[in-house]
Structure 1
Amino acid sequence: MVANGSREFYDDDKNLMKLCDFLRSTEGPPVREAVEMDKRVYYIKGEKLVNFMVEPKKGTKWPKELPKFSSRPEAIAICKELCNRQYMHRSEKVAKGELEVSRVRDFDESAYFTWIYEGNKKFSHLMTTGLIIGFLCCTCFPIWPNFLKVFVWYMSVSMLIFIFFLITARALLFLFVWVMGYEFWFLPNLFDESLGFVESFIPVYSCEKTKDGQLMYRVGVFVAFSSFCYWAVTQPSEFDGFVKGQGDFIKDLYAGTLLSDMSQKDKENIDKPKMPSLEDLLKKLDSEDDAEEQELSEEEAAEALLESLVDEEDEEIDEDAEE
């Protein structure tokens, strides 16, 4: 397909959708986020869109099945077609990060345009269906067969142990390199909640020189860590016991025997709400009555003691008066 025939090529709605898929992909021109009609949208300035279509940024992989644009009028004509077929619409800025639909429909390079086209929704629908099915499966967990419960338990424990060792290894690696004067992180964005799933693993590592004034801290950490390592080597019996204890802990974790001090009935009902029975309530009432009676008996004893003391004082006063 030659460039001169690009106008006729994009008259086909399927080919125009392919162009939109490319423009909305990560290879396409950068877009900005805003709120329009209480909905998050992506918009771009018309001039930037035309510039990208005529002269893509360096390193862009233009699809082979799509013809390139040889001139700006040709790209502007396609942009007008995108607006006419409602793949995008013209918008106006009303505030920072807020847009509203413009009454003007024509394409203009100086205006802003909001994408309406969202691409193929099959994957989104598939993920939504999977989410619903997963939620139903989780709510039906009590009636799962026993082998599936065991599988989920082993998978959960394995994931927990993997995450624990990953965090520990990242921290130790950072400590070793930091002592030498550099800040090295393996998967530095792993716990950044503002990033998506894929972006959390990019970049794989980061290495920067430490800031000035940390020499004494690095020396102190090195001395403390070296002292701990020396203690671990010179106390083989205690260290071996620690290793054995950790191994037993992992075995018990996989076997599900960490709650061995509980009865089998308590293990089976561990996820059920604890509702006191009638017998427990009666026992609680009896204990409260006994406590009240005990308090009353203590008060009576105190009153009797006070009365006896008063009587003794009265007798002593009478004896002094007789004398």
Structure 2
Amino acid sequence: MTTAKAAATTTNGTAEKEPSFYDEEDNLKKLCDFLRSREGPGVREALFMEKRVHYLKGEKLVNFLVEPKKGTKWPSNLPRFESRPEAIAVCRELCKVQYVMRAEKRGKGELGTSRIREFDESGYFLWVYEGDKTVSHLMTTALIIGFLFCVCFPIWPTFLRVFVWYLSVSLLLFIFFLITVRAFVFLCFWIVGFEVWFLPNLFDETLSFADSFKPICSFEPTKPGQLPYRLGVGIAFFSFCYWAVTQPSEFDGFVNAQGDFLKDLYAGTLLSDMSQEQKENIDKPKRQSLDDLLKSLDTDINNNDFQDEVSEEEKLESMLDNLVDDEEDIDEEEE
């Protein structure tokens, strides 16, 4: 088995230590790639100068180098460490080349700069080494292409737009269903005196994506002093359940309404009943065609003619009324 250091015999018979395998920067990078992989030691996340970083304690790093955790697959191209001094020497080299940097804890989930730069097992060290950025560049490129792809949504084929709509609606309903089930399970157990959460860290923004699903479930007794609240909520909850069971007609109507709601949601007619043609042309400027303009012009002319005819009839009627009034006045004078 190869080790980090080896001994060589000189011509005069004295033992002389050869340079360490990790003195070469390429070999040191290989070690860092292994330590930063899933097989490496566990790390925690914290904020350092408003940036999220991974850190671990120096003692934990040394222990891992000397005695890796059970089931760890140590790379065949890297020598093992036989003693703690060898591991500490390599850790000091990591600090020297600034692959790791010492920091101080300032609070929960927050790190600050440290005046001490040398490696110490009692200190905290954050990872500066990022390794090969090829995967990161590929992901950034994919993100940009995906953004452009989403921007061109109006020119997508119809079947693809329908697929995205169905996928989005299904994901939204799944999230709503998951939140509702979590709250319902918590309420049922909380009433009887226990706090049970399914995926308790699901909405914790301080954790990574994988850690958000750990643990699967948490089970703890409720805090003292909550008995009156639990009794009140329990009475209200079971009263509502009794009302729902004893009102089958209204409950059936509620179920049918939810079914219609889902149908409208998937059909895209929840907010509007516009025709498909109007939906497709919703962003286009609305301009009247030549036929519509001619029809509107004819309508205006007819309206004007009708108004002229009405005005002439009104004039004739007013003249006749005046004549009748004059004749009545003359007859009254003669009498």
TM-score normalized with structure 1 length: 0.67
Residues 11-26 of structure 1 mapped to structure 2, 5 A cutoff: 15-25=27-37
- For the aligned residue pairs, the C-alpha RMSD in angstroms reads 3.8
CA contact (8 A) 2:4 2:21 kept: no
Residues 133-282 of structure 1 mapped to structure 2, 5 A cutoff: 133-262=145-274, 267-268=279-280, 272=283
Instruction: Read off the aligned partner of 1:63 and give its amino acid letter.
Output: W
Question: Is 1:2 equivalent to 2:2 in the alignment?
Answer: yes
CA contact (8 A) 2:103 2:111 kept: no
Report the secondary structure of 2:224's partner residue: coil
Select which of 71, 74, 99 maps to 2:113.
Answer: 99
- Classify 1:192/1:35 alpha carbon distance in 2 versus 1 (closer, same or farther; 3 Å): closer
Select which of 74, 99, 115 maps to 1:88.
Answer: 99
Question: Is 1:78 equivalent to 2:90 in the alignment?
Answer: yes
CA contact (8 A) 1:22 1:28 kept: no
Fraction of identical pairs, as percent: 60
TM superposition shift of 1:67: 3.2
Cα distance in 2 for residues equivalent to 1:273 and 1:133: 27
TM superposition shift of 1:214: 1.9
Question: Is 1:61 equivalent to 2:72 in the alignment?
Answer: yes
CA contact (8 A) 2:41 2:60 kept: no
Instruction: Read off the aligned partner of 2:266 and give its amino acid letter.
Output: Y
Report the secondary structure of 1:160's partner residue: helix
Instruction: Read off the aligned partner of 1:267 and give its amino acid letter.
Output: K
Cα distance in 2 for residues equivalent to 1:242 and 1:127: 46
1:28 matched residue in structure 2: 41
TM superposition shift of 1:8: 6.0
- Classify 1:165/1:114 alpha carbon distance in 2 versus 1 (closer, same or farther; 3 Å): closer
Instruction: Read off the aligned partner of 1:132 and give its amino acid letter.
Output: I
- Classify 1:254/1:15 alpha carbon distance in 2 versus 1 (closer, same or farther; 3 Å): same
Highest CA radius of gyration, 1 or 2? 2
Structure 1 residue ranges without an equivalent (≥5): 276-323
Question: Is 1:121 equivalent to 2:133 in the alignment?
Answer: yes
CA contact (8 A) 1:178 1:184 kept: yes
Cα distance in 2 for residues equivalent to 1:39 and 1:231: 53
Instruction: Read off the aligned partner of 1:139 and give its amino acid letter.
Output: V
TM superposition shift of 1:87: 5.8
Cα distance in 2 for residues equivalent to 1:181 and 1:113: 42
CA contact (8 A) 1:178 1:218 kept: yes
- Classify 1:5/1:97 alpha carbon distance in 2 versus 1 (closer, same or farther; 3 Å): closer
Report the secondary structure of 2:242's partner residue: helix
1:305 matched residue in structure 2: none
Report the secondary structure of 1:206's partner residue: strand
Instruction: Read off the aligned partner of 1:74 and give its amino acid letter.
Output: E
TM-score normalized with structure 2 length: 0.65
Cα distance in 2 for residues equivalent to 1:189 and 1:29: 18
Structure 2 residue ranges without an equivalent (≥5): 7-18, 287-335
Report the secondary structure of 1:183's partner residue: strand
TM superposition shift of 1:40: 6.4
Cα distance in 2 for residues equivalent to 1:14 and 1:4: 14
Question: How many equivalent pairs are there?
Answer: 269
Structure 1 runs of 4+ aligned residues shifted over 3 Å read: 2-16, 29-36, 38-52, 76-84, 89-93, 95-102, 107-116, 259-270, 272-275
Deviates more, 1:130-139 or 1:25-34: 25-34
- Classify 1:132/1:5 alpha carbon distance in 2 versus 1 (closer, same or farther; 3 Å): same
Report the secondary structure of 1:3's partner residue: coil
TM superposition shift of 1:192: 1.7
